[in-house]
Chain A
Amino acid sequence: MTDLQKRALLKAAALTAVASAALVGCGKKEEPAPAPVPAPVASAPAPAPKPEPLKIAFAYVGPVGDGGWTFAHDNGRKALEKEFGDKVVTSFVENVPESADAERVIRDMAGQGNKLIFGTTFGYMEPMLKVAADNAGVKFEHATGYKQADNMRTYDSRTYEGAYMAGVIAGAMTKSNTLGVVASIPIPEVVRNINAFTLGAQSSNPKVKTKVVWVNGWFDPPKETEAATSLINGGADVLFQNTDSPAVLKTAEAKGKRAFGWDSDMTAYGPKAHLASAVINWGPYYIKATKEALDGSWKGGGGQWWGVKEGAIDIVSIAEDVPAETKAKVEEVKKGLADGSFVIWKGPITDNTGKVQVAKDSAADDKFLGGLNFFVKGVEGKVPGAK
């Protein structure tokens, strides 16, 4: 490098350094001056100092405005803010990918003084474990996962209960006896939901069959639209989804078919097509977890799986034209799930190859459901990737 070049480079570097230092210098001045020490009061005892609000952070995999999964979590966060007022301070980061970046974001949350951190998707499992190992004083809550630690536990919702209730309605409303499901990724949760939906439909209408199309993603409205169109073209007149956007409902609306909302109430997206929405209320769980964190009873390890009984799952905004006896049936199922008298997965359950998976007079337990890998009779096709 010639002298001239070296000088130019040094000039440029110096300029940049000066510029950044100046910016940073200005930035630092903005920090508020430390609060003034209160003057000692002579007689009256000083009031007990207000406890520092508990800092809670949420990591979301999608945008808060997705109208589906993340929207439901954010509603839960808002519910917990309402419940605890100024005892808590919440914050969130959205669109955190389920990759190496997640670790940095979650670590930053812990570093920022958040004492309770919620990770709202399966893919944060490993990053959260790593950050939990390095931050013993912070409590980690991981949704839909299965690994735990002393300061980390898991939580999930029995979305299949909502799927079953939707199925009851679908079976009653279909005229072509063909139901369509726009499915996301073939994990056990989605397989459970497809099965529960079909079982529910069969309880209203034993003749139904279910077609499934996979979009291999959680949130992809254009692809969801195409998948929904394809199902409708193939004869389905009631659609169900396990993806996170209202695209399926909108497609049904445009084509004069019926569909359900998922994760959140999606009535507004397709008022004519909407039959009901199977929603998840994360509020009750978030409130419970925060209460435990505030009063010191929070314990790590273990996982919670909440459903209708705990107020985490519900089916809402059932359409007017659903016949009264179907509505009554759904209420009955809801009551049965709430008090434990109704079991969705009771035998005999046969898969669609004819094999009996759950014997007569027995019921599937949570462990069995956790690794569910087959489709029940009435669902067409194989579970992708099942061995």
Chain B
Amino acid sequence: MLKLEARPEPSKIWTYGSPVLALLITVLIGAVMFSALGKDPVKGLEMFFWLPIHNAYALGELMVKATPLLIIALGLAVCFRSNVWNIGAEGQYIIGAIFAGGVALLADASSTRWIVLPILLAGVLGGMVWAGITALLRDRFHANEILVSLMLVYVAVQLLSYLVGGPWKDPMGFNFPQTKTFESVTRIPRLFDGSRVSIGALLALFSVAALWVFLFRTRSGFALQVGGLAPAAARYAGFSSRKALWMALLMSGGAAGLAGALEVAGPIGQLTLYVPAGYGFAAIIVAFVGRLHPVGMVFSAILMSMFYIGGEMAQSRLGLTKSLTGVFQGLLLFSLLACDTLVNYRLKWRTRGGA
């Protein structure tokens, strides 16, 4: 029978091969699902894998979708590597958006273009504040950060609803629960005409590099990771677990808040009830599929965005339901987790007893 046998050291081939295998498995199951639904499987796969990249506009849209996912995932990677489970990135995203929106609302037509900077910084601050609550509760009260951060997501959603339905409502907006459209000076500058890609994409790439340096070249990054992998060893080495906790949560909160600010002062252009787009949760998958590695997460963010956009296309062109996106994403993560065992284990046929 098939048995799992531990490898003496992690297999290099499978470290890179496992995500590819997982993707292939997902594609295969996807093709089967399309056929089962009576749709041409190849056309279906085309929706997900070709259309989102087939021209410059599509690539731009892909970047627009991938940027917030990537930024949040970068922050989450820091957390997960330190064994701090921040599931509430969505809430930090929303509060970041709120803070950023608050600054943007202060602008009027004569404000300087540089207001974009305080807007982004406000977003970072907002996300940090929200994550800080989770950190505080875990630090002082040992409250489980998974649950606290998650509950805070729901609180953040209600807070947004209150602000756009009350104090921040657009007085010219016929009482609809949304703020006024932000002045054009507050908008995040776009990179190219004809596309919605903004400097957010540049910020994301810069953050990738920054994270790489932080994790693999700095002492605190190292300390965080040791704390996550071997807490006892970390304590022995004198790495403060409290410092690690706060650093991880503040960094991921700030990242999520930045993503929120970029969305709200970018493609959306105002605060509405629909700011929460589920990026905080999707970023968790992006982080895992990217193996918590900065470069890997760039690819997984692009892949996840292809799933999102592909799902929309599949619906408008093939009449398939959009929920397929969630199915694919879940399948990908499942397959990846399963294939990852191949990194540390070998599959072998073993017979019991004698020959």
Contacts and interface: CB of A to CB of B under 8 A. Distances in A.
The answer to whether A binds B is yes
A30 interface: yes
Nearest to B53: A20
A30 B312 contact: no
A317 interface: no
B274 A98 contact: yes
B175 to A, nearest CB: 5
Given A19-B24, A23-B46, A99-B272, A8 B277 contact: no
A348 B327 CA distance: 57
Contacts of B216: none
Given A108-B312, A185-B165, A126 B269 contact: yes
Contacts of A93: 312, 315-316, 322
Secondary structure call for the B interface: helix
Contacts of B20: 12, 15-16
A137 interface: no
Given A12-B20, A123-B272, A373 B175 contact: yes
B317 A185 contact: no
Q: Classify chain B's interface size.
A: 35 or more
B23 A16 contact: yes
Contact of B175 (A16, A98, A385): A385
B274 A384 contact: no
Interface string B166-181: 1001010011110001
A310 interface: no
Contacts of B45: 23, 27
Q: Which of B175, B263, B269: most chain A CB closer than 10 A? A: B175
Interface in A66-121: 91-101, 103-105, 108-109, 112
Contacts of B161: 216
Interface string B33-51: 0000000101101100110
Q: Which of B42, B161, B269 has the most CB of A within 10 A?
A: B42
Interface string A174-216: 0000000000011110010000000000000000000000001
A101 B277 contact: yes
A9 interface: yes
B217 to A, nearest CB: 15
Contacts of A122: 176
Contacts of A370: 174
Interface string B9-38: 000110011001001100100000000000
Contacts of B175: 186-188, 191, 371-373, 385-386
B267 to A, nearest CB: 4
Contacts of B268: 99-100
B139 interface: no
Nearest to B312: A105
Contacts of B50: 20, 23-24, 27
Interface in B254-284: 263, 267-270, 272-275, 277
Contacts of B274: 97-99, 123
A103 B195 CA distance: 12
Interface in A358-386: 370-373, 384-386
Nearest to B268: A100
A328 interface: no
A99 B196 CA distance: 14
A4 interface: yes
A386 B158 CA distance: 17
B156 interface: no
A385 B169 contact: yes
Interface string B316-327: 110001100000
A5 interface: yes
B184 to A, nearest CB: 13
A30 B40 contact: yes
A146 interface: yes
A30 B43 contact: yes
B183 interface: no
A109 B312 CA distance: 11
A26 interface: yes
B322 A187 contact: no
Contact of B263 (A26, A100, A188): A100
Contacts of B174: 146, 187-188, 370-371
A311 B138 CA distance: 60
Contacts of A191: 175
B177 A385 contact: yes
A185 B40 contact: no
Given A16-B20, A373-B175, A103 B316 contact: no
A5 B322 contact: no
A97 B309 CA distance: 13
Contacts of A94: 315, 321-322
A130 to B, nearest CB: 9
29 contacts: A4-B12, A12-B17, A15-B20, A16-B20, A16-B23, A19-B27, A23-B50, A30-B40, A57-B316, A93-B322, A94-B321, A98-B272, A98-B274, A100-B64, A100-B267, A101-B277, A103-B267, A104-B309, A104-B312, A105-B312, A109-B316, A122-B176, A187-B176, A188-B176, A371-B174, A384-B165, A385-B165, A385-B175, A386-B175
Interface of B: 12-13, 16-17, 20, 23-24, 27, 40, 42-43, 45-46, 49-50, 61, 64, 158, 161, 165-166, 169, 171, 174-177, 181, 196, 263, 267-270, 272-275, 277, 309, 312-313, 315-317, 321-322
Interface of A: 4-5, 8-9, 12, 15-16, 19-20, 23-24, 26-27, 30, 57, 91-101, 103-105, 108-109, 112, 122-123, 126, 146, 185-188, 191, 216, 370-373, 384-387
Given A100-B267, A372-B175, 14 more contacts: A12-B16, A20-B50, A24-B49, A27-B42, A93-B315, A99-B268, A104-B309, A108-B312, A146-B174, A186-B177, A187-B175, A188-B176, A384-B165, A385-B175
